[in-house]
């Protein structure tokens, strides 16, 4: 339920302005939970934005994180990095970074980030296409971008929690809405095994489960962008 009046500022603990359906906002909600940071959540209805919301975030997008010192952070990746630096690194058992050589880890995050952007453009084309004659070609491009993304995972297994929080909210939504709106099936073969390993691990993660919307609501909400089933 969207808050009608602007909550008192500054908050006494970090306050996340989010929309449950938004994958970018889920990154922040998931990171807050994973790091055990006490926080509050204010739900923003993007279809009916409260008049006061641009005072919090002049871009009027979600997520935004308002801190007790009055600062407001926007851009989900930056917020997650901030949370890891401010609350995670150094606290026993709470960091979102896997243990291991720091340099190798930062390289793998960088690659994930870059490929994530490549993935975004294939995903955009996939969402926009309602032409059945182009369906196969567009699916092939999307699956190839997904393969590039999962090929950046470490050979030994899954990427760090930081990287998973960065990519999985989007990948989960693709796996929920893609089959319904576009008849997409992500192959269950060896090429896509890292993807299925990720799905299996992340789907059991408490922070993920507590911050995701219901599948049926997501399918419905994404109709706004997918428009028609093909």
**Applying CB under 6 A, which residues contact ligand GSH?**
19, 22, 24, 46, 61-63, 75-76
CB of 82 to ligand GSH, least distance (A): 12
CB of 92 to ligand GSH, least distance (A): 29
Task: Select 113 or 192, whichever has its Cβ closest to ligand GSH.
Answer: 113
Q: Which backbone phi and psi does 159 adopt, to 5 degrees?
A: -70, 175
Task: Select 16 or 142, whichever has its Cβ closest to ligand GSH.
Answer: 16
SS3 180: helix
CB of 96 to ligand GSH, least distance (A): 16
Q: How far apart are CA 62 and CA 26, in angstroms?
A: 10
The one catalytic residue among 14, 17, 18, 22: 22
Residue 120's contacts (CB-CB under 8 Å, 6 or more residues apart) are: 170
Q: How far apart are CA 109 and CA 212, in angstroms?
A: 23
Q: How far apart are CA 129 and CA 123, in angstroms?
A: 10
115 is catalytic: no
Task: Select 169 or 194, whichever has its Cβ closest to ligand GSH.
Answer: 169
Q: Return the active site residues.
A: 22
């Amino acid at each position: 339920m969207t808050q009608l009046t602007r909550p008192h500022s500054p908050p006494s603990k970090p306050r996340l302005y989010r929309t449950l359906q938004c994958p970018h906002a889920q990154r922040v909600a998931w990171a807050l939970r994973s790091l055990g940071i006490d926080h509050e959540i204010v739900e923003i209805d993007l279809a009916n934005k409260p008049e006061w919301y641009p005072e919090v975030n002049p871009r009027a997008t979600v997520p935004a994180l308002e801190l007790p010192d009055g600062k407001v952070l926007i851009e989900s990746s930056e917020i997650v990095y901030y949370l890891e630096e401010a609350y995670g690194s150094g606290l026993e058992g709470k960091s979102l970074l896997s243990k291991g050589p720091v340099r190798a880890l930062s390289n793998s995050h960088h690659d994930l980030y870059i490929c994530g952007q490549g993935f975004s453009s294939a995903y955009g084309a996939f969402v926009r296409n309602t032409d059945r004659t182009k369906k196969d070609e567009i699916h092939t491009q999307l699956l190839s971008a997904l393969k590039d993304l999962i090929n950046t995972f470490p050979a030994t297994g899954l990427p760090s929690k930081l990287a998973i929080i960065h990519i999985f909210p989007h990948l989960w939504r693709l796996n929920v809405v893609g089959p319904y709106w576009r008849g997409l099936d992500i192959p269950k073969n060896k090429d896509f095994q890292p993807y299925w390993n990720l799905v299996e691990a992340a789907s059991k993660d408490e922070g993920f489960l507590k911050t995701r919307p219901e599948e049926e609501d997501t399918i419905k909400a994404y109709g706004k962008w997918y428009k028609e089933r093909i």
